[in-house]
Amino acid sequence: MLSEATLAVISLVLLVFQGIATLILLSRLLKGPFRRPPLEAKHPNPNLLGTVSVVVPTLNEVERIDPCLKGLSEQSYEVREILVIDSHSTDGTPERVKEISTKDPRFRLFNDDPLPLGWVGRPWALHTGFLKSSPKSEWVLGIDADTQPQPGLIPSLILAAEEEGYDIVSLSPQFILEYPGEWWLQPALLMTLIYRFDSAGVKDQSSHRVMANGQCFLSRRSVLEKVGGYQSAASSFCDDVTLARYAANQGYKVGFLDGAKVIRVRMYEGFKDTWIGWGRSLDLKDASTPGQLWGDLGLLLLTQGLPLLLSIALGLCLGLGYAFLTLKLALGLNLCLVLIRFALLLAIYPSYYRCSSFSPASWLFWLSPLADPLAVMRIYLSAFTRPTQWRGRVYQ
């Protein structure tokens, strides 16, 4: 059993480091009420006729691409073309694209060239699409195959970008979850982003803190030309954030907005896929300096990973008769952090799709703070490793 002096030192150290981390966290969370509200769907705008080329990278997406193709086909005349860049799928994805292209000639199917040394598959497909897109399009919009674009997405996105003066802007989506493991783990993983970065819709982020989401990533064509397309993110497994921060460092204005009302996404199936897929690059080490990475990980550990466990441990110590001031203060701080975490569930609840056939497992969302230690551990595991394979590709 620890001596009272040792426990006093431990509680003091926790109080100091967690106190500093909590102030940093609160400085970010308190910006939330003043952020730009979620985008609303807009009616077609004739002034935006043919201003957008859409690029969809695919690799064996036949099981989930239909909602994406349908959603894109419902976008109006802002869309000049929809380029599907397929990486030689073998599951029938190209046939599905060819089928919809007979009804909507804006769809065009291409195969990308063999993956060059030093490139990751997704940025290579997006780069290929950018090079094949029409020079007459003012904007290039990257859309992932697992998304479900809603009517009015593209005019709302372009008008928001023009209103705010953004050169690059991406959206956070509304998530579609089904299985119990997803409902429990995924919100905890999402929270690791909210703790490390400003909420979607917060303006004037510094270039090294910029966030982005490649599931819906809009760029001015002129900016992509000047930064060399996706070459700056060629080897990145978080190419969206890497490219956005590179552009921000070059002086371009980058935004990250709440798109929960205009785009949805069904990413992974169950706990295992969520653990592997979301944890693969959520550490964002490819877009961060080592100092920034480990600073963010330290903040996560102190404010999200440990508070629940420490509240239990410090509470037990208090029950055993240890009653000195630093122990009580450390316990109070950790209980406060747990309370903040549960309160944030109300803030992110609109980011989850609800319908008449809402998943019966959705109640586990309210218990997702119990998964925080596991989610933070996943981020640490990702930070120490680099993916060697993804979506059937093997990387050196």
From residue 69, give the alpha-carbon distance in Å to each of 96, 152, 172, 264: 9, 15, 19, 13
pLDDT band of residue 358 (cuts 50, 70, 90) is low
Residue 166 phi/psi, 5° resolution?
A: -80, 140
pLDDT of residue 201: 87
Q: Quick one: tokens of 392? A: 């059937």
What percent of the chain clears pLDDT 90, i.e. is strictly above it?
Answer: 82
Residues 298, 278, 210, 239, CA torsion sign:
positive
Angle (CA) 320 321 324, round 5°: 125
Q: Token pair 């969520």 is at which residue?
A: 274
The whole-model pTM stands at 0.93
pLDDT of residue 321: 84
Angle between helices 307-319 and 372-383 (to 10 degrees): 130
Task: Give the pLDDT mean for 244-259.
Answer: 97
What b/e readout covers 231-248, taking b as 16+ CB neighbours within 10 angstroms? ebbbbbbbbbbbbbbbbb
Q: Quick one: tokens of 213? A: 């989401």
Domain count, the chain: 1
To the nearest whole number, what is the mean pLDDT of the chain?
93
pLDDT of residue 206: 85
pLDDT of residue 155: 96
What is the spatial distance between Cα 185 and Cα 205, in angstroms, rounded to a whole number?
A: 28
pLDDT band of residue 357 (cuts 50, 70, 90) is low
Is there a domain that residue 330 lies in? yes
What is the spatial distance between Cα 307 and Cα 344, in angstroms, rounded to a whole number?
A: 15
| Three-state SS at 89 | coil
- Using one digit for the tens of pLDDT, what is the confidence trace for 49-86? 999 999 999 999 999 999 999 999 999 999 999 999 99
- Strand spans (E) along 130-283: 139-143, 147-149, 168-172, 174-175, 216-220, 254-258, 263-265
- Using one digit for the tens of pLDDT, what is the confidence trace for 300-322? 999 999 999 999 999 999 888 88
172 versus 34: the higher-pLDDT residue is: 172
pLDDT of 393 strictly over 80: no
Is there a domain that residue 395 lies in? no
- Spatial CB neighbours of 93, under 8 Å, sequence gap ≥ 6: 58, 59, 60, 61, 62, 65, 86
Domain with 197 in it: 1-386
Is there a domain that residue 396 lies in? no
Is there a domain that residue 29 lies in? yes
- Using one digit for the tens of pLDDT, what is the confidence trace for 109-124? 999 999 999 999 999 9
What is the spatial distance between Cα 192 and Cα 300, in angstroms, rounded to a whole number?
A: 7
Is there a domain that residue 392 lies in? no
Task: Give the pLDDT mean for 237-252.
Answer: 96
pLDDT of 196 strictly over 60: yes
pLDDT of 392 strictly over 90: no
What is the spatial distance between Cα 352 and Cα 349, in angstroms, rounded to a whole number?
A: 6
Is there a domain that residue 350 lies in? yes
Task: Give the pLDDT mean for 183-195.
Answer: 96
What is the spatial distance between Cα 211 and Cα 195, in angstroms, rounded to a whole number?
A: 12
- Using one digit for the tens of pLDDT, what is the confidence trace for 13-26? 999 999 999 999 99
Is there a domain that residue 177 lies in? yes
9 versus 298: the higher-pLDDT residue is: 298
- Spatial CB neighbours of 22, under 8 Å, sequence gap ≥ 6: 302, 303, 333, 336, 337
Contact assessment for residue 256 and residue 172, using Cβ atoms and an 8 Å cutoff: yes
Q: Which amino acid is at 204?
A: D
Is there a domain that residue 391 lies in? no
pLDDT of residue 4: 80
What percent of the chain clears pLDDT 70, i.e. is strictly above it?
Answer: 97
pLDDT of residue 193: 95
Q: Which of 311, 313, 283 is nearest to 299 (CA)?
A: 283
- Using one digit for the tens of pLDDT, what is the confidence trace for 215-230? 999 999 999 999 999 9
Q: Which helix (H) or strand (E) is 70 found in, with range?
A: helix 66-73
What is the spatial distance between Cα 173 and Cα 267, in angstroms, rounded to a whole number?
A: 11
pLDDT band of residue 2 (cuts 50, 70, 90) is low
Say which CATH number the domain at 51 has: 3.90.550.10
From residue 122, give the alpha-carbon distance in Å to each of 103, 259, 279: 27, 22, 17
Residues 358, 361, 365, 371, CA torsion sign:
negative
pLDDT of residue 1: 61
Task: Give the pLDDT mean for 89-94.
Answer: 93
pLDDT band of residue 323 (cuts 50, 70, 90) is confident
What b/e readout covers 155-186, taking b as 16+ CB neighbours within 10 angstroms? bbbbbbbeeeebbbbbbbbbbbbbbbbbbbbb
What is the spatial distance between Cα 378 and Cα 5, in angstroms, rounded to a whole number?
A: 34
What b/e readout covers 356-365, taking b as 16+ CB neighbours within 10 angstroms? eeebeebebb
